[in-house]
Amino acid sequence: MKNVVRLTRKDLWERQLLQNLSLSDRLRNHTLEDISSLSDDLQHISFVVKSIQTNYQAVLEENQRLKSLLMGLIDGCY
């Protein structure tokens, strides 16, 4: 005779509960990984913004130097 496993409502409920808990754990782990990835991305963006600020400041200083040079040339012409 074949051995048949009969699942009761309680067994089905427990199985569903365990599946839900497993799914919750996977969601938590994925969420933590996503947060970590987002943190890395934000750190990179912060680095890029600081680099842009530094470069823009250098451009402004060079622009001021060229403006002073041009104004000096104009004053020398008169």
Between CA 24 and CA 30 the distance in angstroms is 10
Mean pLDDT of the chain: 90
What are the DSSP E strand ranges found in 1-78? Answer: none
What pLDDT is stored for residue 6 in this prediction? Answer: 64
CA end-to-end distance (rounded Å), the chain: 116
Question: pLDDT band at residue 8, thresholds of 50, 70 and 90?
Answer: low
pLDDT digits (tens, 9 = 90+) for 19-34: 999 999 999 999 999 9
Q: pTM to 2 decimals?
A: 0.60
What pLDDT is stored for residue 75 in this prediction? Answer: 85
